[in-house]
Structures are given as structure tokens and as C-alpha cells.
Structure 1
Amino acid sequence: MPNSQAKPKLTIRMCEPRGFCAGVDRAIQIVVLALKKHGAPVYVRHEIVHNRYVVEGLRNMGAVFVKELDDVPDDGQPVVFSAHGVPKSVPAAAAAREMLYLDATCPLVSKVHKQAMLHVKRGRHVLLVGHKGHPEVIGTMGQLLPGEVTLIETEDDVAAFVPADPAALGFVTQTTLSVDDTSGIIAALQARFPDMQAPSSESICYATTNRQEAVKAAAPGADLFIVVGAPNSSNSKRLVEVAERAGAMQGALVEGVADLPWDCVPPGGVVALSAGASAPEILVDAIVDEFRSRFEVTVELVRTAEETESFPVMRSLRETPLTAADMAFVSGRN
């Protein structure tokens, strides 16, 4: 390896905020605390968050990931529901089996559930703007009875939707959508159905909005925009789309160092870097270290917001102590 003076130069624009949000932090903490309090195994229905590094780390601690409650034996050990939320039928089934369950649904997703149920309580049909098959969408639709909610994915869906009563509609959205895409769909809905009622507060969560704003600020002039996140992470995929629209020549979603597209990194160029809300900072650090091994790196920080939000875990786990290593994992730094 040549000395540092011989390395080509590279500028890395680091987005802030990036990575773990308060809801993800809380969900991971719940699994770790449950393992500390109850011992292994702790069952987790679906991925607790969409990140392979996190899932594998929890599995190594004793978490057992299952697709459905039918896969959980009646051994008295707890089962955790993922941060994306679950249909009402899932905790009902757990209660029927007298299972000890811990609901790690992000409080901001729970807020959307309440908004949707409030629309129904007020006699409105619910329009859910989101992506079909996403766990959060399945969970939100599962709060309502069949026929009470319609999924809207595109402006074409808006044009095709024929309500029983155009004056009795209310909408909510998935929390991890592109702010710009969603605004277009909502504008189309409002143009067709001017009596449609909005939720009492914004459905797209603060973390999604903040990460997208930072990406917009860092993208112009970037030769490559790297987003660290999982391929099944909605908020991470939206960040790549936002980056390319905001002026990055190319965007790439990577899970880690092994996925870096080196042929898209020109010497003397600019690489922008962010991470989805379920991507731990240790993966970002590893990518920066790899760039430093090949380039003379200058890091520029692009900060558009400061996040101070935190969501407490349920009372039953609050007195359970965590080690320094546990806390580092929960924060995404180990």
C-alpha cells in the first residue's frame, strides 16, 4: 500500500442525522433486556428491525426469530413483536395462549394505528398510503376490519378508487415513505376528494423526514451517494431515491463494506454517505475506514437537524441492568 501522500484524494460528505432512530433503538433494547431478564431463548416474531447485522447480533445473544406465533413453543419464554407493528389478531392470539409477549412497535407507528382507528370511529373509510406487503402496512391494516381500509400506493390508485361515500374519507400514511412522493399522492387524493380528512398529525415519522432532508442537502454534486441499509428496508430505499433526485450522479444501497461499488468512486471525487433508520453506526464506521485505507479522505459533515427523541421501554423491563457492551450494541456502535 502506498503512503498516505500518494493516495488519491476523496471527499466524504457525512449526513447527520443518520442511522438508528428512537423507535429502532427502543425495539433492539427490548430484545436485549428481555434476554437479560428472562434468559434465552427470547422469541421474536419477524425481524425486529430490517437489518441483518442487528438480527444476527441478537441471534448470537439467544434471540430466536420466527415467522408466526405458531412457531413459538409453549415454554413460558417471552415473544417480542417487531418495531413495524402487528395486526390486532397477533396479540389476541398470544393472549389466548397465555404467552408472555412484549410489543416493540415503534410509538410513531402506534400513533398511525390510533389515527386510523379514530377515522373509523368518526365514520370514515380509511385510505392508507403505503407499500403493499410491507410489515408496517400489514400491521396498520390489521387494526381495522375488512372493508374499512383501502391501500393507496400510487396516483393511479387514486384515480381508480371509487368510494362508497366521497364525503366520508380519512387518510394515514406509512411512516417510512418518501416525503416528496407521498405529498404528490396526497395532493391527488385531496383534489379528487376535497372532503377527505387528514390525520391529526403528520404520519411520516420525524426520523424519516430528517434523514431525507440531510440527504437532499448532501446530494448535489456527489459522484456517488451511499446509503447503508437492508434491501428490505423501506426508509433506506427511499433515501437512495431521494439522493438521486436531489443531484447525486448515482445512488447505492449497501449492507456493508463488501457491497461498495468501487468502480463508481472517482479519485478526487465526492462520496456522500448516510444510513437508514435501522442501520447501526458500526457499519458506517467500517465503510469510512475502508475508504481511508484507499484514499486520502476529507470528511465534511452535513447536519440538517439534531435528534433528541427517546422512547422508554415498557415498565416491566426498566429495572433490568445492561452492561457497557449491551449498551454499545443497542446504540449501534458494537
Structure 2
Amino acid sequence: MLRVVLAQPRGFCAGVERAIEIVERALVKYGPPIYVRHEIVHNRHVVEDLRTRGAIFVDELDEIPTGATTIFSAHGVARVVEETASRRGLAVIDATCPLVAKVHNEGRRYAAAGREIVLIGHAGHAEVEGTIGQIPGKVHLVQTVADVAALTVADPEKLAYITQTTLSVDDTRQIIAALTERFPAIRGPDVRDICYATQNRQTAVHELAKAVDVILVVGSQNSSNSNRLREIGAELGKPSYLIDDASALRPDWFAGIASVGLTAGASAPETLVQEVIEGLRRFGAIEVTTLEGVAENVRFRFPPELADSEPAEASSF
């Protein structure tokens, strides 16, 4: 009998739920097609489901017809993207996660006070590109403690840092410690910019690792927070695998083990978790339990243009 232990919390966070429902509400209110710049959230299954309903996902704004209804993804966009959309007469609905928008506001506030900004984050990630593009003035991107040692700034007395919302809490603390040691006058928010959902899911993996032999994380390969969950499991000495869905399960992962932990990144729907549970039954009898954990009840407001509308039907997720 294989014991399957579910992490709590896992899966969708409030920002992801809001972003997906923004697309659903827009499809009902304005009718398809609705254009979405980049993936609304980093999950292939979610994107494909919305595509079947009439959402068209594009990489750049020039792929969108003039005047079309356009949604910015949960990761946020640079100011130049907002300005381009305005010039082209696009009817924009902003699905940027409110916690990402909070980081943008902090960065602009520090820049307005004359401080150079250090952004702790992953190069090339959509959220990082959007954040850098929201802040006037110099933004230094650091990804590791080694990057801090190599940092060259104009004035060590006029620095501030902000962080990507989906980082490893433990890794970020180390980078912040390196920054404050090298630049004692630097200002910043400790790890408070790492979103509540990211922190809760990482804490749950720490607990999961104490109880199981192997850890499975349901999430897409381009999902930052899902990758962090897998990395944490591995750092805690447990074989850990990031999988899109049940089709990725391999029997050799479970040979000779008694228990497997199962969690999901903040952009992965619970339906995929349940499908993985069913997939595990292919390898024999299982017993499913759930760890105690934080119960999340956060909800974010919708953009005013969609506040009074509803999706035509409940999300398939």
C-alpha cells in the first residue's frame, strides 16, 4: 500500500484565481476573441482551457488588432507596454496580481526618493521584466549571493531592494543578508514581498518532506513558484519531481518506497492533483491523507470594468 500525503495549502492562489476569472468574465461580457499578452498564468492546462473558450494568447501587442479587448497577465507588464497599448487604442484589462503591483509601487517609491533599486529575481521571468520596466532609473538584478558581491552601484548610501514574489524564502533571506552586510544603508522589506501563497506552499513542502519518501510537485516547467517547491524538496534530501500532469508519472520513482508527498504550484489547478492521485493507482493500492496546514481565504477585487460581471459557467478547474 502506497501512502499518498497531500500538502496543505497547495494549488491555486488568490492572484491566479483572479487572473483566470478575469479572462472568463471578459469572454462573457465582451465575447470572443479576447487577447491575452503572454500566458495569463504559467500553466499549460489553464492556458489551453481558456484558448478553447476564445482567448487568444500573444507574445507582443502588434499581434493584436487595433481596439481589441486585451488582458495583461498576472505577472505584470512594463510601462512601455502600457503606453504602446494606449497608443494603439487597445481596451486593456489589467490582471496583474495585486501583490506584484505592490512591488511595483514600492520600487517607484524608492526610485522617487533618489535610490537605485536592487531587484532580487530570476532573469527573463515575465514578472521580473515587468517590474524592471515599471521603475524609472537604474535597476540592478541579482539572482545569487555571488551577484551581490559583484554589484557596482553609484552611491552605497542610496540603495533599496525589492523582490520577485515567487522566490525561495530561504534563498532570498541569504541574498538580503548579503546585501545588508555589504550595503548597511540599504532599505527593503525583508521577505514580505514574497507572496503569502508562495511562503505557505514552501512551508508546506518543509512539513511534507518530514513525512514522505518522494515528493511530486504538479506545475508547469516555466512556473517559478512550482520550480521552487521541487528545489526545496530536493534540498531537504527527498527525490522531488516537477510534473505537468499524471502522464509524466514513472513507476521507477515509486519502487521500494512507502510514501509519496503531493503538492501543486500556485498556478496549477486541483483537478490535475486529483488526476495524479488516480494515476498513482496504476502502480497499486494507495491510501490518501492530507497534512494539516494554513487555510487560505484571501480574495482580491476585480478590475472595475468586470466587477459586476460573472463568468458564464464555473471554471473547469
- Secondary structure of the corresponding residue to residue 110 of structure 1: helix
Match of 2:61 in 1: 69
Q: Name the counterpart of 1:148.
A: 138
* 1:219–1:244 Cα contact (<8 Å) kept: no
Match of 1:238 in 2: 228
Aligned-partner Cα distance in 2 for 1:40–1:18: 31
**1:182 positional shift:** 0.6
List 4+ stretches of structure 1 deviating above 3 A. none
Distance across 2 between alignment mates of 1:202 and 1:268: 37
Change (3 A) 1:252 1:200: closer
CA apart distance, 1:292: 2.7
What is the CA distance between 1:268 and its match in structure 2? 5.3
How many residue pairs get aligned? The number is 317
Aligned to 1:47: 39
- Residue 27 of structure 2 corresponds to 35
1:247-266 Cα offsets, whole Å, 9 max, x none, are 42x00000001111220113
Q: CA deviation at 1:303?
A: 2.6
Corresponding position of 1:187 = 177
Instruction: State the Cα deviation string for residues 186-243 of structure 1 (Å, max 9, x = none).
Output: 1011110111001398110000000000000011252220000000000000000111
Q: Partner residue of 1:219? A: 209
Structure 2: distance between partners of 1:217 and 1:175? 21
TM-score, length basis structure 1:
0.92
1:176-325 alignment runs, 5 A limit: 176-199=166-189, 202-220=192-210, 222-248=212-238, 250-267=239-256, 269-323=258-312
Shift of 1:149: 0.8
Query: How far is 1:177 from its partner?
Result: 0.3
Does the 8 Å CA contact 1:44/1:66 hold for their aligned counterparts?
Answer: yes
Task: Please report the RMSD computed on the Cα atoms of aligned residues, expressed in angstroms.
Answer: 1.4
CA displacement at 1:108 relative to structure 2:
0.2
Q: For the residues of structure 2 that align with 1:328 and 1:64, how far apart are their CA atoms?
A: 17
Greater Cα offset, 302-311 or 231-240: 302-311
Structure 1 CA distance for aligned equivalents of residues 211 and 237 of structure 2: 6
Structure 1: gaps (5+ residues):
1-8
Unaligned ranges ≥5, structure 2: none
Task: Deviation per CA, 1:119-173: give whole Å up to 9, x if none.
Answer: 111111100000000000000000123x521001111110011211111100000
Amino acid at match of 1:86: V
Q: Conserved in 2, the CA contact under 8 Å of 1:115 and 1:200?
A: no
Q: CA deviation at 1:87?
A: 0.2
Following the alignment from structure 1 to structure 2, what is the Cα–Cα distance between the partners of residues 128 and 13? 36
Pairwise CA distance, 1:316 = 1.3
What letter matches 1:320 in structure 2?
Answer: S
Overall identity of the aligned pairs, in %: 47
The structure 2 residue matched to 1:164, chosen from 142, 154, 162, is 154
Q: Which residue of 1 aligns with 2:315?
A: 328
Report the TM-score, using the length of structure 2 for normalisation: 0.97
Q: How far did 1:310 drift?
A: 0.7
